[in-house]
């Protein structure tokens, strides 16, 4: 009988374990994962500083050690607007094979156990106080589903996967980093093809860059995949469309052989309601991915930490306690990102207007970054100005009108 059994050893799962063991060092905690560690995970490897804050609070100050901070982000829209202001806080690019293994190593050092198996069945408790039973033999007071985009824990709760309009799919590869003729920067190139969609190139600092392209599943037909289902494990044509598009969008950075991998991103525009009781969903299993950027690591770490706290402090109903905590931390932010994603998806020029405005005003740029990478919300005034600008087609001249700005922070 485990106090807390966690299915999935990604950032959401290890953060859960770290929080439980920080608050109750003697607790019996097991992480079950289908893969041996270290393991790769298809991802942009972009680690927002907000995620590192959560880890610092969990006593892990060095998750990005050895990787240089990347403080510049270049955002380009399909309409040609561009901003490349240094961000208020630097991001890191740490291959998930390294990052996740560091977190797993820390969780094991604090007393968690790692069990290698693919979980196939979950029996829910038949009454209050009964354990959850996994694969007919592992018993747990609290079960945490940290098993990612195709979560079986979520399916066992009777919750369906996200619809195609709230499910992104992206391909990731590794390539040579661009020539170092300017400071390293994370490049995000939003494109019309498959809108809302973007290609990225994130320098790792070792001569390589993580490259990729992602779009909504519902838009995959427009990418050139002929509307084929885009199950990464399924028919090849959806994947082929993604691979081909990436190669076209980043022609100077061909992917190194064998590094291309596709995976789903369940976006937070369609989140399941966390049920009461002893089964908690965290990270991608809870559809916690920012619909504007595809960032999910910060949410995974935060939700895991909140779930770990609820598991320890609210044994009678951890589900209800965790639901309330998540709502308190992220509720407003998630509503605002959903609103923005809906607007941008339907009116692509809004994104041009937002990036043009951000190119002119550093504080607006910072707010956009907070919304895309952290838990920022839309300032009422900025939203009104954006809408007004769009409706009247008014706006300033100078760098904003030309849509390009590449300047230091004021």
Ligand X SMILES: Cc1cc2nc3c(=O)[nH]c(=O)nc-3n(C[C@H](O)[C@H](O)[C@H](O)COP(=O)(O)OP(=O)(O)OC[C@H]3O[C@@H](n4cnc5c(N)ncnc54)[C@H](O)[C@@H]3O)c2cc1C
Which residue has the CB atom at the shortest distance from ligand X? Answer: 296
Nearer of residues 104 and 325 to ligand X, judged by Cβ = 104
Separation CA 367–CA 386 (nearest Å): 13
For residue 216, list its beta bridge partners: 168
Subset of 141-160 contacting ligand X (CB under 6 A)? 146-148, 152
Separation CA 220–CA 160 (nearest Å): 21
For residue 132, list its beta bridge partners: 140
CA separation, residue 118 to residues 133, 151, 347, 389 (Å):
14, 11, 42, 52
Q: Which residues of 18-45 are buried (b: 16+ CB within 10 A; e: fewer)?
A: bbbbbebeebbbbbbbbeebeeebbbbb
Q: Which residues of 320-329 are buried (b: 16+ CB within 10 A; e: fewer)?
A: ebbbebbeeb
On whether the CB atoms of residues 260 and 171 are closer than 8 A, the answer is: yes
Nearer of residues 87 and 146 to ligand X, judged by Cβ = 146
Nearer of residues 21 and 119 to ligand X, judged by Cβ = 119
**H/E element holding 27?**
none
Residue 372 engages ligand X in binding (rule: CB under 6 A): no
Residue 42 engages ligand X in binding (rule: CB under 6 A): yes
Binding-site member from 19, 41, 309, 389 for ligand X (CB under 6 A): 41
CA separation, residue 388 to residues 66, 140, 291, 381, 391 (Å):
45, 54, 24, 10, 5
- Cα–Cα–Cα angle for 387, 388, 389, rounded to 5 degrees: 90
Helix boundaries (H) for 58-95: none
> 152 φ, ψ to 5°?
-85, -25
Choose the stretch contacting ligand X; rule: CB under 6 A; options: 1-9, 69-77, 102-110, 134-142.
1-9
Binding-site member from 81, 119, 156, 167 for ligand X (CB under 6 A): 119
Choose the stretch contacting ligand X; rule: CB under 6 A; options: 38-46, 55-63, 223-231, 400-408.
38-46
Choose the stretch contacting ligand X; rule: CB under 6 A; options: 36-44, 133-141, 173-181, 312-320.
36-44
Site size with ligand X, rule: CB under 6 A: 38
Nearer of residues 131 and 283 to ligand X, judged by Cβ = 283
Nearer of residues 157 and 289 to ligand X, judged by Cβ = 289
x/- contact string, 290-309, with ligand X (CB under 6 A)? ----xxxxx-x---------
Choose the stretch contacting ligand X; rule: CB under 6 A; options: 22-30, 44-52, 340-348, 352-360.
44-52
Nearer of residues 230 and 351 to ligand X, judged by Cβ = 230
Binding-site member from 6, 9, 82, 166 for ligand X (CB under 6 A): 9
Start-to-end C-alpha separation, the chain: 57
Choose the stretch contacting ligand X; rule: CB under 6 A; options: 35-43, 176-184, 348-356, 395-403.
35-43
Binding-site member from 132, 159, 166, 289 for ligand X (CB under 6 A): 289
Subset of 202-221 contacting ligand X (CB under 6 A)? 212
**H/E element holding 61?**
none
Binding site for ligand X (CB under 6 A): 7-13, 32-35, 41-46, 118-119, 146-148, 152, 170, 172, 212, 263, 265, 283-285, 289, 294-298, 300
């Amino acid at each position: 009988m485990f106090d807390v059994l966690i299915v999935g050893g990604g950032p959401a799962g290890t953060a859960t374990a770290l929080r439980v063991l920080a608050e109750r060092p003697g607790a019996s905690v097991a992480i079950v994962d289908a893969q041996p560690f270290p393991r790769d995970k298809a991802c942009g490897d972009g680690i927002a500083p907000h995620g590192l804050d959560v880890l610092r609070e969990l006593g892990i100050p060095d998750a990005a050690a050895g990787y240089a901070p990347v403080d510049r982000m270049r955002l380009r829209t399909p309409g040609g607007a561009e901003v490349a202001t240094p961000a208020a806080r630097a991001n890191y690019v740490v291959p998930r094979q390294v990052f996740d293994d560091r977190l797993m190593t820390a969780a094991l050092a604090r007393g968690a156990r790692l069990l290698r198996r693919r979980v196939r069945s979950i029996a829910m408790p038949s009454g209050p106080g009964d354990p959850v039973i996994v694969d007919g033999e592992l018993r747990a007071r609290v079960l945490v589903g940290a098993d990612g985009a195709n979560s079986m824990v979520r399916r066992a709760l009777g919750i369906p996967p996200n619809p195609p309009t709230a499910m992104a799919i992206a391909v990731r590869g590794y390539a040579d980093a661009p020539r170092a003729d300017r400071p390293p920067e994370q490049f995000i190139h939003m494109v019309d093809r498959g809108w809302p969609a973007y290609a990225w190139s994130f320098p790792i600092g070792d001569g390589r860059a993580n490259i990729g392209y992602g779009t909504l599943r519902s838009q995959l037909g427009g990418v050139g995949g002929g509307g084929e289902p885009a199950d990464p494990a399924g028919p090849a044509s959806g994947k082929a469309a993604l691979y081909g598009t990436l190669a076209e969008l980043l022609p100077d950075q061909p992917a190194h052989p064998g590094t291309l991998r596709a995976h789903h991103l369940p976006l937070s525009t369609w989140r399941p309601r966390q049920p009461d009781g002893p089964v908690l969903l965290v990270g991608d299993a809870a559809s916690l991915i920012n619909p504007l950027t595809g960032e999910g690591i910060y949410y995974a770490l935060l939700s895991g930490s909140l779930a770990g706290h609820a598991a320890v402090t609210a044994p009678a109903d951890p589900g209800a306690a965790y639901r309330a905590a998540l709502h308190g931390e992220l509720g407003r932010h998630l509503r605002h990102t959903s609103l923005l994603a809906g607007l941008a998806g339907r009116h692509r020029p809004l994104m041009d207007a937002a990036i043009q405005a951000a190119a002119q005003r550093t504080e607006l740029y910072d707010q956009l970054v907070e919304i895309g990478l952290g838990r920022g919300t839309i300032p009422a005034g900025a939203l009104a100005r954006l809408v007004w600008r769009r409706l009247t087609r008014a706006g300033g001249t100078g760098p904003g009108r030309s849509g390009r700005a590449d300047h230091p922070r004021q």
